A and B are shown apart, each in its own frame.
Chain A
């Protein structure tokens, strides 16, 4: 595989078809770039998996707007993707929210550099607590405002961020021969 320096997602300014009006209205005040799956724009009954890219500062506000105005009352998942060769921002933080009545889902993304911080979502959903701890544990991305940002999977004195692409599969283990 060639070295991946950019993510494959293609962003436009126009909201794609699968996005409902409620979401478009809720996200109007923010600067949002939209994307669909580049190679399956309509596959899977998910309307091309619409996603959007927002800035770090807007990250909690976008989710608050989705939750309060568009009734996206459920945070499905929260994670990050590492592009070590992408500059300046190495990580993309993902948050997937869902509306339980209409079953509409939206993937919201933001980019953050190594050592940077993303504002927390714990004031909106309690499930963001451990989800952000997991992302922090695996990638080293800090979440500003999180009540207790400590490691969750690895021991507290573990050195390194396991899911980064440049962390070796077997770790830097001193016990390993």
Chain B
């Protein structure tokens, strides 16, 4: 993207006829993370009691809609946050992994409650001792069930994580025909990203490469990523 020069800027301002400009200058990352974190569509996998507290979080008193998350999409194709609330059994684990696989990138997983995080109070023959045996988890919420306040806290932390983690690989020079796109294994904040980086490249266009993937691990201050 080319820089807008000062003269062009003032021309635009004159043309629009106002002293305030209706142009926002920002980075793609900031805008994309702002839009992603404020419009998360959770897939509430309300398996047991934590599902009820999740419903309470979404209702008027604790109101998850303030964060843009009240759109609970029960189809994994339309959701980007898998919120596992409740005890996962081996019989249900097949279903949960299928749901996780059906979700499109970028996706996040929150394990709500003690049962989802570690099997909880059920150390028995049929309970999975933590959903991270099957899916990678971004956040664990402890509690049996966690209060809706805890859930909101973690949702806000998730928003912060999206801010930090949101990576846009604004390469590339057009890849040679036949060459595979580079897939970088990234470890961001000690966890692994769900899937390959998003490549915003269309054939024939050239984007300026903004530099290597930024991450906290490389000592980038949080302010710089906003």
* Chain A interface residues toward B at CB < 8 A: 153-155, 162, 167-171, 173, 175-176
Count of interface residues, chain B, beta-carbon cutoff 8 Å = 9
Contact A162 B125 (CB under 8 A): yes
* Complex interface: chain B residues within 8 A of A171 (CB): 124-126
Establish whether residues A170 and B90, one from each chain, have CB atoms under 8 Å apart when the complex forms: no
Q: How far is the CA of A116 from the CA of B182 in the complex (A)?
A: 63
- CB contacts (< 8 Å) of B90 on chain A: these are 155, 173, 175
Least CB separation from B91: chain A residue = A155
Give chain B residues whose Cβ lies under 8 Å from the Cβ of A167. Answer: 125
Shortest C-beta distance, B118 to chain A (Å), equals: 13
Q: Which residues of A contact B123 (CB under 8 A)?
A: 169-170
**Chain B 110-148 interface mask (CB, 8 Å, partner A; 1/0):** 000000000000011110110001000000000000000
Task: Verify B126–A154 contact, CB threshold 8 A.
Answer: yes
Chain B residues near A153 (CB-CB < 8 A): 126
A171 to B126, CA, bound (A): 8
Looking at chain A's contact residues, the main secondary structure is loop
Contacts of B131-184 to chain A: CB distance below 8 A: 133
User: For residues 57 through 111 of chain B, which have their beta carbon under 8 Å from a beta carbon of chain A?
Assistant: 90-91
Contact indicator B133/A169 (Cβ below 8 Å): no
Closest-CB distance, B194 to chain A (whole angstroms) = 22
Q: Is the CB of A170 within 8 A of B125?
A: yes
Chain B proximity of A159: nearest CB distance (Å): 11
B91 touches A154 (CB 8 A): yes
Across the two chains, which residue of chain A brings its CB closest to B90? A155
- Bound CA span A147–B208, Å: 70
Q: How far is the CA of A171 from the CA of B124 in the complex (A)?
A: 7
Task: Name the B residues within 8 Å of A173 (CB-CB).
Answer: 90, 125
The CA-CA distance from A173 to B91 in the complex, in Å, is: 13
In the docked arrangement, what's the CA distance between A174 and B125, Å? 11
Cross-chain contact A169 with B124 (CB below 8 angstroms): yes
Asked whether A168 lies within 8 Å of B133 as measured between CB atoms, the reply is no
B129 partner residues in chain A, CB cutoff 8 A: 176
**Interchain residue pairs with CB less than 8 A apart (24):** A153-B126, A154-B91, A154-B126, A155-B90, A155-B91, A162-B125, A162-B126, A167-B125, A168-B125, A169-B123, A169-B124, A169-B125, A170-B123, A170-B124, A170-B125, A171-B124, A171-B125, A171-B126, A173-B90, A173-B125, A175-B90, A175-B128, A175-B133, A176-B129
A155 to B91, CA, bound (A): 6
- How far, in Å, is B223 (CB) from chain A's closest CB? 42
Closest chain B residue to A160 by CB distance? B125
User: Which residue of chain A lies nearest to B128 when distances are taken between CB atoms in the complex?
Assistant: A175
| Chain A residue contacts of B125, Cβ below 8 A | 162, 167-171, 173
User: How close is A140's CB to chain B, nearest CB, in angstroms?
Assistant: 14
Residues of A within 8 A of B133 (CB): 175
Query: In whole Å, how far is A177's beta carbon from the nearest beta carbon of chain B?
Result: 9
Q: How far is the CA of A169 from the CA of B129 in the complex (A)?
A: 13
CA distance A175 to B133 in the complex (A): 9
Q: How far is the CB of A171 from chain B (nearest CB, A)?
A: 3
